[in-house]
Structure 1
Amino acid sequence: MPNTNDHTGQAEPLTLAIDIGGSHLKAAILDESGEMSSVPIRVKTPKPATPEAVVAALIGVSQRLGQFDRVSIGFPGVVRADFVLTAPNLGTKAWHDFRLADVMAKDLGKPVRMLNDASIQGLGVISGQGLECVLTMGTGMGFALFRDGEIAPHLELSQHPLRKHKTYDEYVGEAALERAGKRRWNKRVRKVIGILETVINYDMLYIGGGNAKLIENPLPSNVKIVCNSAGITGGVRLWDARLDHAFAEHPPAFAGQPV
């Protein structure tokens, strides 16, 4: 049963928050304030990470977590409503046009909302004041931008060429860290920070994801390393009324076109 608010007697919905990554799938149950009411579960992302394999793994995880009323999904790519358009770090184009949110809603019997994973991380850490930028450092590099708490249209910066035809993903992603080593990778991260500061003129930059803990100090005063768990806890914010417009029941205009 949902939690009950002691002051109003009204039921507070519990949210199953899912963070899909190139290496791991993570999930937990959140109360209405975004606090975890269950111990988070972390399992390896199936290889190959086909839609069918990932959905099966997520259903298995959900069955281990107990009761919930709604579902939030952070996805590593471009999404529109319940459609996946790109999934560069899952290694298969089978995701293009896959209606992940719709499939999960039918399988779980609960309403589902889905957003880019960096956007969800941002919803879990931003102050809501000024121009705030969010990076996630994991299998690839995620990106999100907010102005006074309002999320901007998603920009898949990770796939933009940065140096010698290398994309941001290829320059500072997991594979680049393994090849270049921690010291050289940190120099690359600082270069990316400098580029974003020049191009975006952000007031605050938050960096999360599994590899954020490897970033060495000192950092500029307006750059902050944040807890990786925000990729889960930010999921409760998907159900804020101010985001309702992002989950309209219609496909993207360019659905069906090749990636």
Structure 2
Amino acid sequence: MPEIGDKKHVLRQDARSGNPNILSVDIGGTLIKAAVIDQSGALVSEFVTTPTPHPATPDTIIALIARIAAPLPDFGLISIGFPGVVHRECISTAPNLGTAHWKNFDLEQTLRDTFGAPVRILNDAIVYGLGVAKGPGRECVLTFGTGMGCALFSDGTIFCGLELGQHYARDDQNYDQYVGHAAYLELGLDAWNARAERALQAVHALTNADRIYLGGGNSRRITFALPEWATIVQPSSGVAGGARLWHADMDRWFAPRQPAMAQARERT
């Protein structure tokens, strides 16, 4: 397991003050983005972006997060957006990281042991959506990157994560393959946009969302005319959403693993 040298990033004074800064990390199949943010989601540091290593094993990803964190301002909490199914902060699937080593991996505990700081982890599309979904009504986040991510929100709170990327767009391809980055490289801009538009319409028909927010690295490649219910949002939303993971309304998602924090809030 990676070491951090002088253990600079443990629970420092900012954490003990009751208003800790957050290391927010968006893990993608192609890029990893990170920044230190405050409790409102405002940047305390500049964004750091680095290619995702391959093979993207747990050890290599954790070591990379440690290297990214080393020069950043102090933080007392960690938020992770992870590209796969996360169950009680253990990893169930990681299709776009290309390794079976993530199956049932306890990423929360490993990062906690590495940094000495509390950690909260959810699927990356959910964390992305936490940065943009404000309500009212039903809102959906659809991310186009290495694969396709999707999450649904009701009145600004999480309704469910939808692993639509692993569902089939047609007989021989799931949505990760149909509109993922490899498809963009193979098809070119115009043909990829035709597929992305079909995927958007399919998700709207499935979710009946009032608004769909489009994000991920390849959302900037969208050239088709968007319907009035769809909006492209900033790439920084995934990192900014990391602040929401530590708001009181999120405690119920993490209470099985972090009951002390929820109980402490109830006493204040």
Report the TM-score, using the length of structure 1 for normalisation: 0.91
CA contact (8 A) 1:160 1:167 kept: yes
Which structure 2 residues correspond to residues 1-259 of structure 1 after superposition, within 5 A? 1-2=13-14, 11-249=18-256
- What is the DSSP-based 3-state SS (H/G/I as helix, E as strand, rest coil) of the residue aligned with 1:153? strand
What RMSD, in angstroms, separates the aligned Cα atoms of the two structures? 1.5
Alpha-carbon distance change, 65 to 43 in structure 1, aligned in 2, over 3 angstroms: same
Q: CA deviation at 1:127?
A: 2.2
The whole-number CA distance in structure 1 between the counterparts of 2:164 and 2:215 is 16
Partner of 2:263: none
Equivalent residue of 1:65, what SS?
coil
Contact 1:27 1:42 in 2 (8 A): yes
SS of residue paired to 1:242:
helix
Q: Once the 2 structures are TM-superposed, how far is the Cα of residue 23 of structure 1 from its aligned partner?
A: 1.2
Distance, in Å, in 1 between the alignment partners of 2:51 and 2:135 is 33
Return the letter of the residue paired with 2:248: A
Please tell me the residue identity of whatever aligns with 1:150. Answer: T
On the 8 A contact 1:81/1:247 being kept in 2, the answer is yes
C-alpha distance after superposition, 1:190-248 (max 9, x if no partner): 10111112121110000001110110142101100001110101100001122112113
Single out whichever of 212-221 and 201-210 deviates more from structure 2.
212-221
Unaligned runs of 5+ residues in structure 2 are 1-12, 258-268
Looking at structure 2, the residues matched to 44 and 127 of structure 1 have their Cα atoms a distance apart, in angstroms, of: 31
Aligned length: 245
d(CA) in 1 for partners of 2:181 and 2:206?
24
Tell me the distance in 2 between the aligned counterparts of 1:39 and 1:153.
31
State the Cα distance separating 1:99 from its structure 2 match.
0.5
- The answer to whether the Cα contact below 8 Å between 1:81 and 1:248 also exists between their aligned partners in 2 is no
The 8 Å contact of residues 136 and 154 in structure 2, kept in 1 or not, is answered as: yes
Percent of aligned pairs with the same residue?
A: 45
Q: Which runs of 4+ in 1 moved over 4 A?
A: none
Q: Displacement of 1:39 after TM fit?
A: 0.9
Q: Matched residues in 2 for 1:155 and 1:174: separation? A: 19
Deviation at 1:12, TM superposition (A): 2.2
**Separation in 1 of the partners of 2:14 and 2:135?**
28
| Counterpart-to-counterpart distance in 2, 1:210 and 1:51 | 23
